[in-house]
Amino acid sequence: MKLDIDFVRSQFTQLDDDPEFVFASNAGGSYVCNQANEVLEHYNRHTRVQPYSRFKSSAEAGKAMDRAYQGWADALNIDRNELTIGPSTSINTYVMAQAIGDLWMPGDEIVVTNQDHEANSGVWRRKAHEKGVTIRQWEVERDSGLLDIESLFPLLRDNTRWVFFSHCSNVVGTVNPVPEIVKTIKSGSGARVFVDAVAYAPHHISDLKALGVDGYAFSLYKVYGPHQGLMYINGDIHGDLTSQAHYFNSGNPTKDFNPAGPQHAQVAACAGVMDYFDLLHQHHFGDNGNKGQARLEEIYQLILQHENELVAPILDFLQQHAGGAPAWQVPRPGQ
Ligand SMILES: Cc1ncc(COP(=O)(O)O)c(C=O)c1O
């Protein structure tokens, strides 16, 4: 079976504006699927009130937001209370630097990489400097541009508190084997693990419990959705971190790490991406009974197949022309 690309294209009305125009601006985000735009418009036209009160439009607004929280929690195989939907990944990590970093003491250590986007690097480094925490840098190999697990071992100590790295390189696209890295970290230290998946999530939505991470962040505006950042924080450590919410929201798991408070309409629109995935699944697989992650896996296999076809010419070219080139690979599901 192949991805029905005409069907996919029909779900993104913006593509009709100029059929000759090729949009390939990953950093700027993806086009927004029609389903997300529809939810956003419906929210703004009919339920643009403070959500979660008893009057009709407010109750509906709350339900629309709950649908997004629950849908994404199911997709990521996490508890709904472990999900923060904030303004962007940069803001989410900035907030977490306060929530996590508040607990750091002089003598503690963290590990960051030189493969990461600034959003998963600068915030932790600045907080570490402020708190007298030692920063160790896990560096990409000079020739391959890859992070090698062997070179992570010597950086881990008993007092390593957190390790921050990315799910895939946003330069060469190689996927880091997250479960293996997490296992290495947990066997070599008591450190917690935070992964930036902004570059990876557009290619694959992961089962976060299977990855074994403690924190995970990506941006939905690169996954066909509104400009929001989704962030998982392991419920086991939630209570140890300092709430960054207004005091009257403290202890509310969806607000503790989102001092701006949820952007109601945008949060609701996050459910539209799930509606799109559901439709894509229905179109290709009918009602085969699969749900949650299994459903997403089936869709992503089709998308991956299509991506591999698109990327093959450039990879072939690079392999032929870059003597001794590293083993280029596009992101694979299940990693
Ligand atoms: C790999 C990676 N991490 C983090 C970010 C920051 O995400 P946001 O724009 O949601 O702050 C980006 C943005 O392009 C990115 O490419």
Q: Atom 7 (ligand 1): residue with closest C-alpha?
A: 89
Whether the CB of 119 sits within 6 Å of ligand 1: yes
**Helix runs in the chain, H state only:** 5-9, 34-46, 56-76, 89-101, 122-131, 178-188, 208-211, 235-238, 264-285, 292-321
Other CB atoms within 10 A of residue 210 CB: 12
The answer to whether residue 317 sits within a structural domain is no
110-157 pLDDT per residue, tens: 999 999 999 999 999 999 999 999 999 999 998 777 899 999 999 999
User: How many Å apart are CA 123 and CA 91, to the nearest integer?
Assistant: 10
Q: Report how far ligand 1's centroid is from the alpha carbon of 167 (Å).
A: 12
55-73 pLDDT per residue, tens: 999 999 999 999 999 999 9
Token pair for residue 156? Answer: 């881990």
CA atoms within 13 A on the CB side of 294: 6
Q: What is the pLDDT of residue 44?
A: 98
User: How many Å apart are CA 322 and CA 128, to the nearest integer?
Assistant: 39
Whether the CB of 198 sits within 6 Å of ligand 1: yes
| Biggest alpha carbon–alpha carbon distance for the chain | 67
Reported residue count of the chain is 335
- In 3D space, the residue among 135, 124, 129, 118 whose CA is nearest the CA of residue 97 turns out to be 124
- What burial letters (b/e) apply to 127-153, b meaning 16+ CB within 10 Å? bbeebebeebebebeeeeebbeeeebe
Q: Quick one: 118 exposed, middle or buried, by C-beta within 10 A (0-12, 13-18, 19+)?
A: exposed
Whether the CB of 229 sits within 6 Å of ligand 1: yes
Does residue 51 or residue 315 have the better pLDDT? 51
168-208 pLDDT per residue, tens: 998 888 899 999 999 999 998 999 999 999 999 999 999 99
- What burial letters (b/e) apply to 176-198, b meaning 16+ CB within 10 Å? bebeebbebbbebbebbbbbbbb
- What is the distance between the terminal CA atoms of the chain, rounded to a whole angstrom? 23
Q: Which of 94, 167, 170 to mutate to test the pocket of ligand 1 (most atoms within 8 A of CB)?
A: 170
The answer to whether residue 275 sits within a structural domain is no
For 159-204, give the DSSP string: TEEEEEEESB-TTT-PBP-HHHHHHHHHHH-S-EEEEE-TTTTTT-
Q: Which atom of ligand 1 is nearest to the CA of 221?
A: 10
Range of the domain at 161: 80-247
Q: Report how far ligand 1's centroid is from the alpha carbon of 324 (Å).
A: 31
What is the pTM (predicted TM-score) of this model? 0.94
Q: What is the pLDDT of residue 301?
A: 93
Q: Any idea what the CATH number is for the domain that residue 143 is in?
A: 3.40.640.10
Paired residues of 216 in beta bridges: 195, 232
Whether the CB of 27 sits within 6 Å of ligand 1: yes
The answer to whether residue 115 sits within a structural domain is yes
The answer to whether residue 60 sits within a structural domain is no
Residue 264 DSSP SS3 = helix
Residue 81 has pLDDT above 70, yes or no: yes
The answer to whether residue 313 sits within a structural domain is no
Starting at the earlier edge strand, list the strands of the sheet with 229-233: 83-86, 229-233, 215-219, 192-196, 160-166, 109-113, 134-138
Q: What is the pLDDT of residue 25?
A: 75
251-291 pLDDT per residue, tens: 999 999 999 999 999 999 999 999 999 999 999 999 888 88
Whether the CB of 78 sits within 6 Å of ligand 1: no
Phi, psi values for residue 182, rounded to 5°: -60, -45
**Structure confidence at residue 225 as a pLDDT band (50, 70, 90):** very high
The answer to whether residue 238 sits within a structural domain is yes
Tokens 């907080």 locate to: 127
The answer to whether residue 202 sits within a structural domain is yes
The answer to whether residue 56 sits within a structural domain is no
Q: Atom 8 (ligand 1): residue with closest C-alpha?
A: 89
Token pair for residue 114? Answer: 């030189």
Q: Which atom of ligand 1 is nearest to the CA of 116?
A: 1
Q: Report how far ligand 1's centroid is from the alpha carbon of 116 (Å).
A: 10
Number of domains in the chain: 1
Whether the CB of 199 sits within 6 Å of ligand 1: yes
